[in-house]
Amino acid sequence: MTTEINPQAAAPAAAGNGKRRKFLLLLLAVVIVAAIAWTAWYLLVARWHQGTDDAYVQGNIVAITPQSVGTVVGIGADDGMKVQAGQVLVQLDPNDAQVAYEQAVANLANTVRQVRGLYSAVDAGQADLSAREVAVQKARADVKRREGLVATGAVSAEELAHARDELAAAEASLSSSRGTLSRNRALVDATTLAKQPQVAAAAAQLRQAYLNLQRAAIVAPVSGYVAKRNVQLGQRVQPGATLMTVVPLEQVWVDANFKETQLNDMRIGQPVELHSDLYGSDVAYQGKVAAIGMGTGSAFALLPAQNASGNWIKIVQRVPVRIEVDRKQVAEHPLRLGLSMHVDVDIHDRDGAMLSTAPPSKPVLTTDAYAKQLADADALIEKIVNQNLPGRHG
């Protein structure tokens, strides 16, 4: 048996090492390319964006509350229904308010007529004063004439005494008339009938009674959608009790809770792109940073954390950032309160401020749903005054 050395025996092993080297080189190249790509992506894109999934839709939740005590006799809207500002949502029993209103109307009319009498009393008092002044002048002339005739005996001393008594009585009546005129004039001096204090007080009572009657119909202060209706027919409600809420969905915003380490380059006004879990990546909302919170969530908690203890563990805190969302996009794709959002803030532009630099120039939110009530009350008061005032006094 003969054994020969094969010079080609190591060739398969060498070929295997060559393939492995090529694979490792290829893998190294892929890693290097990936590292370069990631570095380029970070330098060109990632470092100019801050994102978070800890973001939720928020909005105004307008509580519908009564302003007076009453029993519910009608409910104008239910959960999910669209309502307009000024629409009646809950009707309270108006009977008591109606009676008080009618009493206030009668009281104002009666007061106007009484005050008209005061103006007339002033005119009559002035005429009476003039007549008594004439009587005093006549009595003085009589006394003076009789004083000249007493010395000649043409007039007796007794007749002179009677003339003097008449003068004293005329002067007393004149003084009384002046006092009465002064008191009557003080009630109407330097004012018109409509602004006379008694009329003004009666008008204020009527205005209050009118408002109480109108408030039996509880209206929506804003347009929106009804949520959380708690009121039932026949329920006796108290002022301030929440009967239902109205949510104006076109006014929603997003509160994004960023880590404190993400806020260094964040500024008010920076553009934001948002995605909702409701619509997915198919719908991208555009917005901007409206405000950066004044503290972390734990700082405003009912029971703030006490870290002055030995068992302390540092936890990265989060600060809420308010994002305004394009209202046109919200109208096209409505959001709901509490929905999850993904927020991506473009921090290229860092010229803005981190805090608001000026107070608002006008109210943030207003409603004119109640303005017409007072205007109608004033128009009613003017009508009643005119109806009970044939002529103009002032």
The answer to whether residue 340 sits within a structural domain is yes
Distance, in Å, from the CA atom of 204 to the CA atom of 61, rounded to the nearest integer, reads 33
164: Cβ contacts below 8 Å, ≥ 6 apart? 143
Q: Are residues 133 and 153 in the same domain?
A: yes
The answer to whether residue 80 sits within a structural domain is yes
Three-state DSSP class for residue 248: coil
Domain at 67, CATH number = 2.40.50.100
Question: Confidence band (pLDDT; 50, 70, 90) for 55?
Answer: very high
Q: Are residues 233 and 285 in the same domain?
A: no
Question: Confidence band (pLDDT; 50, 70, 90) for 4?
Answer: low
Spatial contact of 177 and 129, defined as CB atoms under 8 Å apart: yes
Q: Are residues 260 and 290 in the same domain?
A: yes
Q: Are residues 69 and 128 in the same domain?
A: no
Domain at 325, CATH number = 2.40.30.170
pLDDT at position 238: 94
Q: What is the mean pLDDT of residues 284-288?
A: 95
The parent domain of residue 319 ranges over 252-301+313-353
Q: In this model, does residue 187 exceed pLDDT 90?
A: no
pTM above 0.85, yes or no: no
pLDDT at position 153: 63
The answer to whether residue 348 sits within a structural domain is yes
Pick 220 or 296 by higher pLDDT: 220
Pick 117 or 52 by higher pLDDT: 52
Q: What does residue 195 show for φ and ψ, rounded to 5 degrees? A: -105, 5
Distance, in Å, from the CA atom of 264 to the CA atom of 282, rounded to the nearest integer, reads 31
The answer to whether residue 276 sits within a structural domain is yes
Three-state DSSP class for residue 290: strand
Radius of gyration of the chain (CA): 45
Residue 309 is classified by DSSP as: S
User: What digits encode the pLDDT tens for the residues 131-148?
Assistant: 777 777 777 777 777 666
The answer to whether residue 366 sits within a structural domain is no
pLDDT at position 46: 63
Q: What is the mean pLDDT of residues 89-118?
A: 90
Half-sphere exposure of 20 (CA within 13 A, CB side): 6
Q: Are residues 125 and 189 in the same domain?
A: yes
For the chain, list the strands marked E by DSSP: 49-58, 62-64, 70-75, 82-83, 88-92, 217-219, 224-227, 236-237, 244-247, 253-259, 271-276, 280-292, 318-325, 340-346
Percent of the residues in the chain that have a pLDDT greater than 70, as a whole number: 84
Q: What is the mean pLDDT of residues 222-239?
A: 94
Q: In this model, does residue 192 exceed pLDDT 80?
A: no
The answer to whether residue 33 sits within a structural domain is no
The answer to whether residue 167 sits within a structural domain is yes
Q: In this model, does residue 219 exceed pLDDT 60?
A: yes
Q: In this model, does residue 2 exceed pLDDT 70?
A: no
Q: Are residues 257 and 341 in the same domain?
A: yes
Dihedral angle over CA of 358, 363, 365, 367, nearest 10: -170
Q: In this model, does residue 58 exceed pLDDT 90?
A: yes
Distance, in Å, from the CA atom of 335 to the CA atom of 362, rounded to the nearest integer, reads 27
pLDDT at position 369: 86
In our burial notation (b when 16+ CB lie closer than 10 A, e otherwise), range 350-385 reads eeeeeeeeeeeeeeeeeeebeeebeeebeebbeebb
What is the number of structural domains in the chain? 3
Q: Are residues 261 and 348 in the same domain?
A: yes
Distance, in Å, from the CA atom of 361 to the CA atom of 224, rounded to the nearest integer, reads 25
Q: Are residues 319 and 265 in the same domain?
A: yes
